[in-house]
């Protein structure tokens, strides 16, 4: 086989699948926001509105055996990875049928079956973990690719620098994907970084580092194919900065005092779903029927997920301390 | 022809006992490796791993940059992916730079992920004062770690435990922290030639006695035994309990001893306020109050950053004379 692995597959079927995955995330999260106002979902809820092209462009390029480390804005990553929407929604509700038994909630989606190593709610905290997953692969010779997602806010953390240094120093197969949405919660990039060109900062560690328009799903996928292919072949790390914009508030508690509405409106035309639809229409790759079909399928899946979560059950309080340690080990709380 | 007789015991230092435990673990299990600052070419900050690089190579005796959070997180990630890393942190003071990874990931991930992921990593570090290393290398923070659900905390105080706790810790499906008191590394004694794994969940009665229970661990064990000898000369028969495991605590052994002696003094090199000694004292009050004939006493470090000059450093620490005085106070013999 000599077919280059890094060429995007431009078939109509594949394009429609990319669109569907983005719509799945958007509509799922729209539903979550609605359920939040109904107090079905509590705690923090960080939405990915505007950034969907990144997860959808990167994750399908991976193999099943590869591993993913994500952030607290990870609903999209889990859904695209194949964590069933039913289990993700049940987790949002805190029900024990959820993908983390209901114990993690929105910020801590885990799924061992798909090697989804979790939403990490410590900014930068996932990077050392990814280094360790890469180190295990290096020592075991399993030829995996580890993908680590994080926001540009993590770049200010020491763990970012420690991890890039270690990954390059030890030659570990990690694709670092920086989702640069320009705001670390409410602090603009220019107010938190001495060098606002993240890709340039990463390149100092001596790895291939590139920038892609993170709101163009085809461009993200093309870059991800190149990157994943390179990591798999060379077993060395690779850095991909995806430039994007978060169209919704940081979380449901955020009054957005730090940015103008006009700025958000300026970005809205760039949002990845409408933009991709426009591109598909211009290239005659989509019919109105396709859109209607995708919407209907996604709506049905969401309805099923909500029904599943509603029907879910609360973990008995008697199990509160279970799995602090493995069951056979010390009883919890001693 | 004279038959060679194998010696039943050999003279070793505590340092050598730990080194033998490391060597043995790596020979028995290919998943085990050691990483940390200066563990390889330098031979270990306290020379524990001296010579192991030549025997086991740089993949398994892995020098790391000064990135406590990065490499501790890497150990956690590697453990999550099937390896059995031993992470060495130079001193407990430096481990604070890795506290995010230890608490927010290692201790948390099994419960938070609904039992899907775990981090069976062993993290070793030096603790304690006495070498005139001043206020950033001399503290005893193991009691802080013993506060955290999801990890086990060990304090080997004897050669047998220095040799035997590591292997048992490596078999544990969850993270285990091992605290080695810096004043013990040069301690010499006889160790059985076939010394091996020991349990890590029971306290040990190091000196049986009838009159008072002196409860301690780690570097303070030997000071407490010395105090017991002094007390014996005054006709006081002290029982010395070596906790061995600081989390979980072996309440049964503590309460059995206090139930017998009806008096207790806790000796802990940590600071007094909010200390492990406070926890043990409260457990005695909760579980053995009606057995007590006198208030529970404590000998802890003075509440100062450990100072450099020897006389001040020694004045800040628990000493045999203070333990003797506390025991006599508890017995109304002062």
**Residue A16 located in a structural domain:** yes
Residue A267: pLDDT above 70?
Answer: yes
Residue B235, domain member (yes or no): yes
Instruction: Single out the residue in B192, B227, B242 at which a domain terminates.
Output: B192
B286 carries an active-site annotation = no
Interface test with B, best of A43, A96, A118, A135 (most B CBs within 10 A): A135
- What is the average pLDDT score of chain B? 96
pLDDT of residue A331: 45
Regarding whether B281 and B155 lie in a shared domain, the answer is no
Residue B258 has pLDDT above 50, yes or no: yes
Kindly state the helix (H) or strand (E) to which residue B144 belongs, with its residue range: helix B142-145
Residues within 8 A of B (CB atoms), A 86-105 only:
98-104
Q: Are both B179 and B267 inside the same structural domain?
A: no
Chain B, residues 31-70, CB within 8 A of chain A, namely: 33, 59, 64-65, 67, 69-70
In a domain, residue A238? The reply is yes
Residue from B36, B57, B73 to probe the interface with A (highest A Cβ count within 10 Å): B73
- Domain residues for A19? 12-312
Q: Min CA distance, A219 vs chain B (Å)?
A: 31
Token pair 């320009």 is found at: A182
Q: Is residue A332 part of a domain?
A: no
User: Is there a domain that residue A318 lies in?
Assistant: no
Domain shared by B113 and B257, yes or no: no
* Active-site entry in B16, B37, B68, B239: B68
Residue A323 inside a domain? The answer is no
Chain B residue numbers with beta carbons less than 8 Å from the beta carbon of A120 are 105
In a domain, B236, yes or no: yes
Domain-located, residue B4: no
Nearest to B115 among A135, A165, A323 (CB): A323
d(CA B142, CA B333): 32
Condensed to tens digits (0 to 9), the pLDDT of residues B162-220 reads 999 999 999 999 999 999 999 999 999 999 999 999 999 999 999 999 999 999 999 99
Which residue among B172, B192, B212 closes a domain? B192
Query: Does residue B263 sit in the same domain as residue B215?
Result: yes
Q: What is the ipTM of this complex?
A: 0.93
B250, B276: one domain: yes
pLDDT at position A252: 84
Q: B74 and chain A: CB distance < 8 Å anywhere?
A: yes
Q: Does B73 touch chain A (CB under 8 A)?
A: yes
Q: Is the pLDDT of residue B34 over 60?
A: yes
Q: Are residues B117 and B148 in the same domain?
A: yes
Which CATH number covers residue A119?
3.40.50.970
B101 preceded by a cis bond (ω within 30 of 0): no
| CATH number of the structural domain spanning residue B231 | 3.40.50.920
Q: Is residue B1 part of a domain?
A: no
Q: Is A267 left (phi over 0), alpha (psi -120 to 50) or beta?
A: alpha
Residue B175 in any domain: the answer is: yes
The pLDDT tens digits of the residues spanning A169-224 come to: 999 999 999 999 999 999 999 999 999 999 999 999 999 999 999 999 999 999 99
Helix (H) or strand (E) holding A117: strand A116-120
Has residue B54 been placed in a domain? yes
Q: Active site includes B37?
A: no
* Residue in A108, A324, A328 nearest the CB of B149: A324
The predicted-structure confidence for A145-172, as pLDDT tens digits, reads as follows: 999 999 999 999 999 999 999 999 999 9
The residue out of B135, B168, B192 marking a domain boundary is: B192
Find residues 248-267 of chain B whose CB sits inside 8 Å of chain A.
248-249, 251
Q: Domain count of chain B? A: 2
Contact status of A159 with chain B (Cβ, < 8 Å): yes
* B152:A166 CB<8 A: no
Residues B138 and B286 in one domain: no
Chain A residue numbers touching B174 (CB-CB < 8 A): 325-326, 329
Contact B149 A112 (CB under 8 A): no
Task: Note whether residue A324 is domain-resident.
Answer: no
- Together in a domain, B212 and B188: no
Q: What secondary structure letter does DSSP report for B105?
A: I
Residues A308-327, mean pLDDT to the nearest whole number? 97
Nearest to A132 among B67, B80, B112 (CB): B80
Contact A112 B116 (CB under 8 A): yes
B174 part of contact set with chain A, CB < 8 Å: yes
Tell me, yes or no, whether B254 and B141 share the same domain.
no
Q: What is the pLDDT of residues B127-150, one digit of tens each?
A: 999 999 999 999 999 999 999 999
CA gyration radius, chain A: 20
Residues B41, B163 within the same domain: yes
Whether residue A327 is contained in a domain is answered as no
Q: How far is Cα B162 from Cα B155, in angstroms, rounded to an integer?
A: 9
Q: Which two tokens stand for residue A259?
A: 């940015």
The angle formed by the CA atoms of residues A10, A16 and A22, to the nearest 5 degrees, is 115
Please say if the pLDDT value at position A3 is more than 90: no
Q: Count A/B contacts: CB-CB distance under 8 Å.
A: 154
Using CB atoms, pick whichever of A133, A136, A139 lies closest to residue B59: A139
Q: Does B82 contact A140 at a Cβ distance shorter than 8 Å?
A: yes
Query: Tell me: the pLDDT tens digits for A30-48?
Result: 999 999 999 999 999 999 9
For residues B61 and B34, the answer to whether their CB atoms sit within 8 Å is yes
Q: Please report the pLDDT score of residue A108 as a whole number.
A: 97
The model's pLDDT over B270-304, given as tens digits with 9 standing for 90+, comes to 999 999 999 999 999 999 999 999 999 999 999 99
Structural tokens at position B217:
């661990």
Q: Compute the distance between CA of residue B127 and CA of residue B217 in angstroms, rounded to an integer.
A: 12
Q: Quick one: B249 and B165 in the same domain?
A: no
DSSP B272: S
- Identify the pLDDT of residue A253: 85
How are strands ordered across the β-sheet holding B212-216?
Answer: B204-207, B238-242, B212-216, B264-271, B297-301
Q: Which domain holds residue B308?
A: 204-330
The DSSP annotation for B195-224 comes to -----SS--EEEE--SSEEEEE-TTHHHHH
pLDDT value for A2: 38
**Taking CB atoms and an 8 Å cutoff, what residues of chain B touch A140?**
81-83
B325 lies in some domain? yes
Do residues B187 and B219 share a domain?
no
pTM summary value = 0.95
In a domain, A317, yes or no: no
Q: In angstroms, what is the C-alpha Rg of chain B?
A: 20
Helix (H, G, I), strand (E, B) or coil at A104: coil
Tell me which of A74, A132, A322 to substitute to probe the interface with B (most B C-beta atoms closer than 10 Å).
A132
Q: How many domains does chain A have?
A: 1
């Amino acid at each position: 086989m000599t077919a280059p692995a890094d060429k995007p597959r431009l078939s109509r079927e594949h394009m429609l699948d990319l669109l569907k995955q983005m719509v799945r995330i958007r509509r799922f999260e729209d539903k979550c926001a609605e359920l939040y106002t109904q107090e079905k979902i509590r705690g923090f809820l960080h939405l990915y509105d505007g950034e969907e092209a990144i997860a959808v462009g990167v994750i399908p390029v991976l193999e099943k055996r590869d591993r993913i480390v994500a952030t607290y804005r990870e609903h999209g990553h889990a859904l695209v990875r194949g964590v069933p929407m039913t289990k993700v929604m049940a987790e949002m509700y805190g029900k024990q049928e959820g993908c983390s038994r209901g114990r993690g909630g929105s910020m801590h989606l885990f799924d061992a079956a798909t090697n989804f190593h979790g939403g990490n709610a410590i900014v930068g905290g996932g990077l050392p973990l990814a280094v360790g997953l890469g180190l295990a692969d290096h020592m075991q010779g399993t030829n995996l690719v580890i993908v680590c997602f994080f926001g540009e806010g993590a770049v200010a953390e020491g763990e970012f620098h420690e991890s890039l240094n270690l990954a390059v120093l030890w030659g570990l197969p990690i694709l670092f994907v920086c989702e640069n949405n320009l705001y670390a919660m409410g602090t603009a990039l220019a107010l938190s970084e001495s060098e606002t060109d993240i890709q340039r900062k990463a390149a100092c560690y001596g790895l291939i580092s590139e920038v892609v328009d993170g709101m163009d799903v085809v461009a993200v996928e093309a870059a991800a194919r190149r990157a994943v292919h390179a990591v798999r072949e060379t077993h060395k790390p690779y850095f991909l900065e995806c430039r994007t914009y978060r169209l919704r508030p940081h979380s449901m508690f955020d009054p957005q005092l730090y940015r103008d509405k006009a700025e958000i409106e300026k970005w809205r035309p760039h949002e990845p779903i409408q933009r991709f639809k426009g591109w598909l229409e211009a290239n005659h790759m989509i019919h109105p029927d396709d859109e209607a079909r995708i919407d209907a399928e996604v709506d049905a899946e969401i309805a099923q997920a909500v029904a599943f979560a509603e029907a879910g059950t609360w973990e008995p309080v008697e199990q509160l301390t279970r799995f602090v340690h493995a069951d056979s080990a010390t009883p919890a709380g001693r | 022809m004279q038959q060679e007789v194998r010696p039943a015991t050999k003279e070793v230092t505590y340092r050598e006992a730990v080194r033998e435990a490391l060597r043995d673990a790596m020979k028995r299990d290919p998943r085990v490796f050691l990483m940390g600052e200066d563990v390889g070419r330098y031979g270990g900050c306290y020379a524990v791993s001296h010579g192991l690089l030549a025997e086991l190579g740089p993949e398994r005796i892995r020098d790391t940059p000064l990135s406590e959070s990065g490499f501790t997180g890497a150990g956690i990630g590697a453990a999550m992916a099937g390896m059995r890393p031993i992470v060495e942190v130079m001193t407990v003071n430096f481990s604070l730079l890795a506290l995010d990874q230890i608490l927010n990931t290692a201790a948390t991930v099994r419960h938070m992920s609904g039992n899907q992921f775990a981090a069976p990593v062993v993290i070793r570090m030096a603790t304690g004062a006495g070498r005139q290393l001043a206020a950033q290398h001399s503290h005893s923070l193991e009691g802080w770690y013993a506060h955290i659900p999801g990890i086990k905390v060990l304090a080997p105080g004897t050669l047998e435990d220095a040799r035997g706790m590591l292997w048992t810790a490596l078999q544990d499906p969850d993270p285990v922290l091992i605290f080695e008191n810096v004043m013990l590394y040069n301690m010499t004694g006889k160790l059985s030639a076939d010394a091996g794994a020991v349990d890590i969940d029971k306290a040990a009665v190091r000196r049986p006695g009838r009159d008072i229970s002196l409860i301690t661990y780690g570097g303070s064990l030997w000071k407490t035994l010395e105090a017991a000898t002094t007390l014996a000369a005054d006709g006081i028969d002290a029982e010395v309990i070596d906790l061995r495991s600081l989390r979980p605590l072996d309440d049964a052994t503590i309460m059995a001893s206090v139930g017998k002696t009806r008096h207790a003094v806790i000796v802990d090199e940590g600071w007094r306020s909010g200390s492990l000694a406070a926890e043990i004292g409260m457990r005695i009050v909760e579980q053995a109050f009606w057995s007590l004939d006198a208030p529970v006493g404590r000998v802890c470090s003075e509440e100062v950053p450990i100072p450099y000059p020897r006389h001040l450093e020694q004045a800040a620490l628990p000493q045999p004379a203070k333990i003797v005085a506390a025991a006599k106070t508890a017995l109304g013999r002062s």
